[in-house]
Structure 1
Amino acid sequence: METSPPRAGHTRTTQGRLRGWNLTVFIPPLAVVGAVLVAADARNWWEATVLALGVLAALVVLERWTAGDTSRVVVPCLIVTAAVWPFGVLVADSHRAFYGMTIVVPFFVARLPRHRAAATVGLGAFVAAVGAAELLESPDDVPGVLLRYVLVPTAVVVVATCLMFANRRFYEIIEEAREREAELAVYRERVRFAGDLHDIQGHTLHVVKLKIALAEKLVRRDIGRVEEELREVHALVSDTIAQTKQLAYAQRRLNLSVELENAKNLFEAAGIRVRVNREGAVDERVDGLLGQVLRETTTNILRHAQATRVRITLSRSGITIENDGAPHAPLPRLGGLAALRERVGDSGGELTVEQENGRFLTAAEFSPLGAATPRRPARKDDNR
């Protein structure tokens, strides 16, 4: 099965959302304007029928555009609107029959792989040439014909096509900015992790260096003091290994309030709307674990999803993080959450992960006494 690159899929998602908004906002007034123009220009029912076909073709292209599939309809609709324009000029005496082309031509030109400028000029020339044919019917009103049938229709069609190019570029700029913000958010998270790692190991290494230097000086004078210094170095290194492992596996005790504020900042920087619901004060006994779940989930959303909305719900004994933009694919292996699931289970809680219909949900819940459940004894290989 063919898959699209993440950026392409994300771009289509954003453009589809914006196009849907455009459809809701613009199609009703465009339909009303088209109906008014048909009613104003048609002199009988069959003229109204033909002129209405041009408006209908334009609305069909708009509807297909919101579905991201104009390829099958844009050419037939262009032919219809291009045929309605000569009918309007030569039969219905309508200088507004180009209305359908104003909508269809920009979509037709936009989907061309090349020579878009030439196509714009050619279609503009067609509109002008058809409009100029009205001079055959009204040779005594050259200025009026040139204005109403040539200059205005041609200018409107060409300007509308140029605006379509500007609109597409606008979508691209929005998407590029969003991607840069997401990359920056992940970079900030990495810098924060590096800072935590430096806090753990930097001080330890400096102290170890000093103690070894002291032991070298005392090795021939006070062997008892040397042994004491080496025991302290050993204990210090063991503690640092344990802290580094906790950091690597998201087991370091965190503050939920700090993590919540950090998650909000990261999501907002990535252009993701975040909503926080508090259903009660969080039990202090599970505060750290819930903070770890929130941190790991935040990182996963930024790296693996194309989210636009995140909802965080806090209760006394649990947290739920739900986001959209999940890929329509099997649930990926998330190593950090897998490690957290075991730790949460050891503390009397349950960590669940669900993915369905573009929605991803991570939830950690503890029973009222779950946080007080004794931890299992450490295995011999726990510190490896």
Structure 2
Amino acid sequence: MTERPPRFTESTQGRLRRLNLATSLPPVVFAAVFLLYTDTHAWWHLAVLAPGAVAAVVAFERWTADDLARVALPCMIVAAVVWPLGVLVTGSPNAYWGVCAVGSFSLREVRRRRGPAAAGLFAYVAAVGAARLLVQRDDVREVLVVYALVPTVLTALVMLMTAVGERFYDLIRELEQTREREAELAVVRERFRFASDLHDIQGHTLHVAKLKIALARRLLPHDAARADKELRETYALVSETIAQTKELAHAQRRLNLTAEIENAKNLFEAAGIRVRVTREAETDSRAGELLGQVLRETTTNILRHAQATQVRITLAESGITIVNDGVTATTLPELRGLAVLRRRVAGDGGELTVEQTGERFLTAAVFPPVRAGAAPEVSAAPAAPGENGR
């Protein structure tokens, strides 16, 4: 799968915000229209009150998109102006709705002193509401309740609900970061396993070669034949090590398919991905080596390039199928490591299939029944371990 910059990948948090917008925006717009209808008693009242309602709706839409910073200040200014106009000019007790919504959403943009900022918002809503006494003094208690107390209490409730919503998004963000770290750790563990295999091949050999060369140097002055034998054995040992290193680097070492399935399962589970392994039949061990390479390459691709939540691995007599979700690319990505493996599978009479349907990605390597037990041929240069892209 093609690699994507994390910042531009739609995350779970982004999908939740879009869902929140789709489900909550219609009620918000309906509430704005209803309050305007309730408080509008003349055509010019609508001209005074509508900007506050529009500012609230815009702030809510930008808040769900996690892009409120660009519009927070202008929306706050508009809403803050509408509230005193509604109190003193149009006599609209619901004109506070704009400053209540925009102020509650905008608090997340205040990096420091959020407490004083919230207290200032409450004080502004209450003070402006109490200013209604300047034009209406016949019922002080009603004015203070309708224009000051109720707007302030509702502003506090909206602020509390907004804070809860933001905390929910913060938790989702933390979970996503944890999942990314787990996936990165799984890839690191896979690289460590490769390094361990490389050490197993070369460490002992280099140590033995060093001892044999030292012995040959001591034998050379008085036992040239024995020294020559030691050097020939060292040469053969180094040649064998070079061949084994090439096999390791090109993923040609004999793999145990059962061990590879268990390793893939552990890697996925460590990354927080649900795994279901279905064994319909056992595959011939020789064909299983090539299938193990396909599984290893696919596992690395999923961990590095997908936002998978579940993976299904199906092992049949004729091959293996790996299906994962979490694909964000709209078209089938370019094949790299799997393209090389496709040629090797085809050279052994099999077929490697890669399909993408929506967010679902399928990788399947299948051998005809008559060829399932044949030893895989090395028909093309295989993928290097550092080439993890498809």
Normalised TM-score (structure 2) = 0.70
1:6 equivalent in alignment to 2:10: no
- Work out the CA distance in 1 between the residues paired with 2:334 and 2:378: 31
- Work out the CA distance in 2 between the residues paired with 1:145 and 1:374: 85
Displacement of 1:248 after TM fit? 1.2
- Work out the CA distance in 2 between the residues paired with 1:363 and 1:81: 61
2:15 matched residue in structure 1 = 17
* 1:200-239 map, 5 Å: 200-220=201-221, 223-239=224-240
2:354 matched residue in structure 1 = 353
* 1:95-110 map, 5 Å: 98=96, 102-108=100-106, 110=108
Task: State how many pairs are aligned.
Answer: 367
Other structure's SS at 2:363 match: strand
1:331 matched residue in structure 2 = 333
- Work out the CA distance in 1 between the residues paired with 2:216 and 2:24: 82
Q: Counterpart amino acid of 2:320?
A: G
1:283 equivalent in alignment to 2:280: no
Unaligned segments of structure 1, at least 5 residues: 380-384
* 1:110-149 map, 5 Å: 110=108, 124-135=122-133, 137=136, 138-140=139-141, 144=145, 148-149=149-150
- Work out the CA distance in 1 between the residues paired with 2:149 and 2:255: 71
- Work out the CA distance in 2 between the residues paired with 1:61 and 1:84: 16
- Work out the CA distance in 2 between the residues paired with 1:166 and 1:117: 16
Q: Is the 8 A contact 1:309 1:324 kept in 2?
A: yes
Other structure's SS at 2:140 match: coil
Structure 1 pair 111/308, CA: closer, same or farther in 2 (3 Å)? farther
What percent of counterpart residues are identical?
A: 45
2:24 matched residue in structure 1 = 27
Displacement of 1:230 after TM fit? 3.5
1:246 equivalent in alignment to 2:247: yes
Q: Is the 8 A contact 2:55 2:98 kept in 1?
A: yes
Displacement of 1:64 after TM fit? 6.6
Deviations 1:49-79 (CA, angstroms, capped at 9, x unpaired): x899988986776567556677999877995
Deviates more, 1:71-80 or 1:254-263: 71-80
Question: Could you say which structure has the greater relative contact order, defined with CA pairs below 8 angstroms and 6 or more residues apart?
Answer: 2
Q: Counterpart amino acid of 2:281?
A: A
Deviates more, 1:102-111 or 1:14-23: 102-111
Displacement of 1:200 after TM fit? 1.2
- Work out the CA distance in 2 between the residues paired with 1:277 and 1:52: 59
Q: Is the 8 A contact 1:53 1:80 kept in 2?
A: yes
Unaligned segments of structure 2, at least 5 residues: 381-390
Structure 1 pair 147/65, CA: closer, same or farther in 2 (3 Å)? closer
Displacement of 1:165 after TM fit? 5.7
* 1:67-86 map, 5 Å: 83=82
1:152 matched residue in structure 2 = 153
Structure 1 pair 203/221, CA: closer, same or farther in 2 (3 Å)? same
Deviations 1:292-338 (CA, angstroms, capped at 9, x unpaired): 212122222333x141324233131222243424545783463x334
Displacement of 1:166 after TM fit? 4.5
Q: Counterpart amino acid of 2:321?
A: I
Q: Is the 8 A contact 2:352 2:365 kept in 1?
A: yes
Displacement of 1:42 after TM fit? 5.7
* 1:35-54 map, 5 Å: none
- Work out the CA distance in 2 between the residues paired with 1:44 and 1:375: 81
- Work out the CA distance in 2 between the residues paired with 1:375 and 1:142: 87
Supply the RMSD in Å over aligned alpha carbons: 4.9
Q: Counterpart amino acid of 2:24?
A: I
